[in-house]
Structure 1
């Protein structure tokens, strides 16, 4: 590693006022999405008038270098739906070529996956998260508005062939939860993916849907423990899931339970929106604009501003009190 790379690569430690350290950046590359999921964008994506253009490849690279300078080890490119950007492979490559970044991930709905996964892998992708809320094709189509589950599963099979660590995200919904769990367990017996059950979260746009469909993740967690699933150690740059394994299954199961009492104590991630706003929490009241520093390309100044802003991160998201902040829906900054 050259001297200038060593200077940029993780020389700082990004820490907030509560002693939490941040090694993981979720960088949204677009807030547009082509799915119409019931719990997120049931009417489909609608661009907002006057919305700034998303970060360019060069701007995204500047942001990632600044975070890496502060100790970030993992970058997840999210949306909206990242594959809607034709230049996503260039952003993946920029992440891969950022000194200090050890893991590059993408979260996608998988709609284009069979066509793009080989190029993503060549560009430097390590990890892939695909959203599948049901393995029943008809139910999947009803939830998302797209009848494409077989194509997505083909893309997952190809990702596994290429050696991409693959996770599947499933939002917990109360109606039909038992049947969906059994379908996923049957699949995981022979499929080496990590399934992550994510509690439905209340946002500004889904309050009624949340009230009718929310299911606590600890209900599923108790069933897993009673069936012999064992909790695995958590990596320093891992996401918020508590991950379980079972000797009879090739796949594993993680649970993300934002309504649990101590959820925020282990927070290790920060978010930057597609327009270059730092979100200290998924449910913060507002994003903090970094676009001016990003446009200047001054990595040192950007890192200094990020360090200052992170010091003001709140202790909790306060979802339990019904506070959803400025998050209208989860496509805005990637969930």
Structure 2
């Protein structure tokens, strides 16, 4: 299954990069193919759709669907930081605990990162706040 992700603005890409939101993508696909809305499967932030021929695709829609409350993703950077959310700048270092082989400390950091995952992003807020996270440094 192919998954598309809506363009997620941030201060590093606000002007130079343009993307599209799910409504635009679905309009383009719908102009050529009939599709059905399959909803969410519970294990992914993707909203799934199915073409008449059975091909499935998903769209991660942070502007339309605030999936943060059910997001089960964290990211580990090359520098050893655990990132609980793509939108917010917060991160916790697990590097030193891993280098020392301190499994208990690493587990505490991991638990804290998971515990502090935000329940909501701010992409759709009227104040227009943009994320400061540089996604190209985040990893996936």
After TM superposition, the score normalised by the length of structure 1 is 0.36
Structure-1 separation of matches of 2:40 and 2:64:
19
Question: What displacement does 1:244 show?
Answer: 1.9
- Match for residue 51 of structure 2? 246
Question: What displacement does 1:293 show?
Answer: 0.7
- 1:196 has 2:6 as partner: no
- 1:332 has 2:137 as partner: yes
Alpha carbons 2:66, 2:120 under 8 Å: kept: no
Please identify which structure carries the higher helix content: 1
**Cα deviation digits, residues 270-314 of structure 1 (max 9, x gap):** 111111101111122232111111111222321122213332222
- 1:256 has 2:63 as partner: no
How many residue pairs match? The answer is 135
Question: What displacement does 1:252 show?
Answer: 1.6
- Match for residue 111 of structure 2? 307
Larger Rg: 1
Structure 2 residue runs without a partner (length 5+)? none
Structure 1 residue runs without a partner (length 5+)? 1-193
Q: Which has the higher contact order (CA 8 A, sep 6+)?
A: 2
| Distance of aligned partners of 1:196 and 1:312 in 2 relative to their CA distance in 1, 3 Å threshold | closer
Alpha carbons 1:286, 1:325 under 8 Å: kept: no
Question: What displacement does 1:203 show?
Answer: 2.0
Structure-2 separation of matches of 1:260 and 1:232:
13
- 1:296 has 2:100 as partner: yes
- Map 1:149-188 to 2 at 5 A: none
Cα RMSD for the two superposed structures: 2.5
- Match for residue 79 of structure 2? 275
Alpha carbons 1:276, 1:291 under 8 Å: kept: yes
- Match for residue 35 of structure 2? 228
